[in-house]
Every structure is written in C-alpha cells, then in structure tokens.
Homo-oligomer: A and B are copies of this chain.
Amino acid sequence: MTTTATRAGGATPAFPPIWLRDNCPCERCRDPRNGQKLFGITDLPADLTVRDTEATADTITVTFGPDGHRGVFSRAWLEAHLSTSDGDGRTEAAKQLWQARDLEGRLPAADWAAYRDDPAERARVLRAVRDLGFAVLHGTPTEEETVLAIARTFGYPRETNYGTLFDVRVEANPGNLAFTGMRIAPHTDNPYRDPVPTLQLLHCLANAAEGGDSGLVDGFTAASLLRADDEAAFRILTTTLVPFAWSDASTSLRADRPLIDVDPAGHLREVRFNNRSMQALRLDPAATTAFYAAYRRFAEIIARPELLLTFRLEPGDCLVFDNTRLLHARTAFAESGARHLQGCYADLDALASALRTLEETA
C-alpha cells in the first residue's frame, strides 16, 4: 500500500498533481449534495505541486502547493484508478459478438411477469441487450401501446415524425417499405437521423400471416470480419461520409455518417446499413469505385447465412434491440394475412443507467 503513497508523492507519480487536485473529494471542491465539482480547470493553479502526503491505513492526505489546499483520498479509490477503464460499455470492447449458431435455440429471453416483478430477471434481460444487442420478452399483454409501457421499464420512448409509436402492418399507400408485405433485408433503422435512435422495440400483436419471420445480424461481428478480411475496405467504410435521407410532405431528414463508426481508440461504436435510404455519393470516380467495392464486401459478409439468426415473433413477444449494432430483417409475408407489430425507439444510455442501478442495489 505504500506503493500508492510513493506514487502520489514521488518524483514520477502515477497520479500527477493536476489529476489529484481535479479529483479532490473535499467539500470545497465537490458539492456534497450531488458530487458535482465546484470549480473549472482554470480555477486551479497552473503550477500545482504535491507538497506533502500523509498516509494512514485507508487514506492518503495530499497537501498541494502552491496554495496549501488539502484533500483526503481513499486508498481504495486511488488503487482502483491505477487500472485502465472498462469504458462506457458502448463499443465492441464491452460486447459479446455472436454468429447465429451461438444463439440458435437459446435466444436471450424472459417472461414478462418475471421481468416486471424480479429485479434480477430484469437485470439479466437488460444485460443481454447491452452485451448481445437484444432480448425477447414473452407473454406481454397483446394490447396496443404496450410497447411504450415496456420502453418505460428501462427508459423513455423517443418521439419522431413517425410518432411516439409506429404501427408495422400493411398500408394502402406505404411511406416506407416496412408497411408492405415485402421481404426486408438486414438493415439498421433511421440512418438519416442524427442522433440515430440507439434502441428499437418491436411488439407483436398479431402474426397469422404466412411468412413474416424475424432475423437479426450482429453488425459488430460483420464489421470485425471485414476488418480481419480486408482492412483497407474497413478503413474506407469508417472514413467515408455517406448521405442518408428520408422525406415526405412534412419531413426532410438527412444525416451524413460513415457506415462503420469507430471511436478514437479504433473500437467499433456504431453500424449504419440501409441501402433503401442511402443517397447518391459525391466523390471522385476513383473514390466512388473504391467505396462501392468496400460496401459490397461488407454487404456480402452481412448476407452470410451463418450470421443471420432467425426466429418468429408470436403475439405477446417484444423484441428489444440495439439499433447502433444489430441489423434486423424479416421475410416476406402475404399482404392478406394479419401481421401487426407496434414499434418505438428509445435510447441505450437510459437502459445502461437502469442496469447499473439494478446492479448497484442488488
């Protein structure tokens, strides 16, 4: 334990003086009511030093120069900060990537009553959405608007021009191919929105039509396979801004984003894949040709049968999935058949918050 004391006060400390001071837990530095810091970085001396440290079994008291400010740090807290962070859970670094065989016959699923009443079961389902990208709830009420109540168990529906919820069923004059009986190939929703909806819920009210089975592809698996197969193609897709758009009489949405978004550390963060709403690129011919070759490679990986997990939503089932990672699909169905889903969008940050709170109080 003297290691930490030495590091804190030594010549080449693990914790530079500015880091210690910015994280000082004293009541002048942090509001004890809410833990928020009470100063900005320019309020701290530019020539900060650690003048002295005093260690006990549990704490290290740091006296800072030049102003003599003192802060008492927990040793356990300091030790915890010697290891690297596991991040915010939003990139591939925190995910379990899968192919169909990994989950066939054992979808992450729960019964609605258990999910609703048992915090441990709720945590298990939310963890599956975070780590695998989806979960299915069985036995939810087959009443309209149930999808909103389900979203409210872990977050907040995201209202858009499609409404707070949207009906997925055959329409006479469809503004979107979702509202026909056509096959829909694996895609992510609303790439023309920024911020894109990070979660989607699809709640099945009726599925008596021939066909209309559901499919999911792990877009992080597909992107990681592309990276392994053809790193140049991967790099093209992480760096080319692709215009997506959708419009009707009262809406004109547009977002230019890469098909594969990586964070500054190079970790997969988001996948966008939707040829339906992709607009014409404006690149020079060589860049256009290179982009399309990379796009085709990625699409060919996404289309591999071994990546497509298929299952059927029955009335009362609700699929919750990460729209920044998973691509969803459905097989064609007879437009005369009764198939009715209700969907809504929501966001991952609130779901992750609900899960952390469940884990902390468990």
Judge whether A96 is part of the interface by a CB distance below 8 angstroms: no
Q: Is there a chain B Cβ closer than 8 Å to A90's Cβ?
A: yes
Is A303 part of the binding interface, using a Cβ–Cβ cutoff of 8 Å?
Answer: yes
Separation of A199 and B278 alpha carbons in the complex (Å): 25
Q: Mark A212-240, 1 if CB is under 8 A from B, else 0.
A: 00000000000000000000000000111
Whether B19 and A356, one on each chain, are in contact in the complex, defined by CB atoms closer than 8 angstroms, is no
Q: Which residues of B contact A39 (CB under 8 A)?
A: 275
Q: How far is the CA of A239 from the CA of B101 in the complex (A)?
A: 37
Number of this chain's copies in the assembly equals: 2
Interchain CB contact under 8 A, B240 and A282: no
* Min CB gap A346→B, angstroms: 10
- Contact A353–B87 (Cβ < 8 Å): no
A253 to B356, CA, bound (A): 8
- The answer to whether A251 and B40 have CB atoms under 8 Å apart is no
Would A299 and B40 be within 8 Å (CB), given that A23-B280, A85-B282 are in contact? yes
Q: Which one of A29-37, A117-125, A132-140, A201-209 is at the B interface?
A: A29-37
Complex CA–CA separation, A292 to B185 (angstroms)? 47
Which of A8-16, A63-71, A314-322, A336-344 participates in binding chain B? A8-16
Contacts A87-B241, A254-B356, A292-B18 given: A42-B348 contact, CB under 8 Å? no
Could you tell me which A residues sit within 8 Å of B by CB distance?
12-16, 18-19, 22-23, 31, 33-42, 46, 81-85, 87-90, 156-161, 173-177, 182, 185, 193-196, 198, 238-241, 243, 247-248, 250-256, 258, 263-265, 275-278, 280-282, 285, 288-289, 292, 295-296, 299-300, 303, 347-350, 352-353, 356-357, 360
